[in-house]
Amino acid sequence: MCDDKRELDACAVVEREWQQMIATSVRKLYYHFAFAALALAANMAHAAEPLRVLAPAGGRPGAAVLLVPGCSGFIARDGINHYEERASELQAAGYFVVFVDYLGRRHLTDCAGGRNVSHAEVAADILEAVQWIRNQPHVAADKIFAIGWSFGGGGVLAALTAMPPGQPLLARAVTYYPDCRGAMPWSSTGTTTLMLMGAMDQVTIPALCDGVIKGVPPPRLHSVIYPNARHGFDIRSLPERAEFGRLGYNAEAAKASWAAVLEFLR
């Protein structure tokens, strides 16, 4: 107890220090829970954020095509966005088009050759997008297709391997010069795949896909290798040879491959 003046003064000091400690602890707890609430709200907003979708005119029902970009994402080169052009063509042909932006959702600008994001993570994004789009109005749930380029093509192959048993989530898949590092044959018999590669590709070397090609029966996997075609052969914003000759546009291979894709998806 505090009886005399000195003891009363000492008690007052202790009480003030105690009150300050309590106030400081309360502020810290407030900021901690406020930050946690903001983080939770941000995560919920991200989870609820819808995918970008282009719908065909007239609101008629139809198939959906997921686009999965290469390592640099849905960017334009020299003012030309290859993915936007392909999306517009598919939309005009009557497809729903879904952009699987595996970089953007992770706030990345590049996959860094797989160091920033893995094929397994891209595959998870693809399958999540399939589950989402198949439940949207006017979308034919049994006609969900995917087209992946380069690293995104590797993600598509990983998604085919990761699909759960039963009715396949993806009915058809197309891979342009896929990154086949670590790719494995898939067991689903209900998915057909078209693999398009360039014979002169020094980035995603076609030979690395041999294990997949040999492991999946021909009726379920059809591969095409275009002569004189480099990595990115279908991207018209590229010159015929770019970046030390490793990338390059090939008009003939681009035209033939896209015609093959449209025929394959029908």
What is the per-residue pLDDT across 62-72, written as a single tens digit (0 to 9) for each?
Answer: 999 999 999 99
Q: Supply 156's token pair.
A: 């598509």
147 — phi, psi (to 5°)? -125, 125
At 180-204, the pLDDT tens digits run: 999 999 988 999 999 999 999 999 9
Please give, one letter per residue, the 3-state secondary structure of the chain: CCCCHHHHHHHHHHHHHHHHHHHHHHHHHHHHHHHHHHHHHHHHHHHHCCCEEECCHHHCCEEEEEEECCCCCCCCECCECHHHHHHHHHHHCCCEEEECCCCHHHCCCCCHHHCCCCHHHHHHHHHHHHHHHCCCCCEEEEEEEEEEECHHHHHHHHHHHHCCCCCCCCCEEEEECCCCCCCCCCCCCCCEEEEEEECCCCCCCHHHHHHHHHHCCCCCEEEEEECCCCECCCCCCCCCCECCCCECCCHHHHHHHHHHHHHHHC
Least confidently predicted of 24-28, 171-175, 211-215, 232-236: 24-28
pTM score, whole prediction: 0.81
In the chain, how long is the greatest CA-to-CA distance? 101
User: Looking at the domain covering 51-265, what would its CATH class be?
Assistant: alpha beta
Q: Is the CB of residue 51 less than 8 Å from the CB of residue 100?
A: yes
Domain locations along the chain: 1-49, 51-265
Q: Supply 224's token pair.
A: 């095409």
pLDDT of residue 43: 37
Residue positions counted in the chain: 266
At 86-145, the pLDDT tens digits run: 999 999 999 999 999 999 999 999 999 999 999 999 999 999 999 999 999 999 999 999
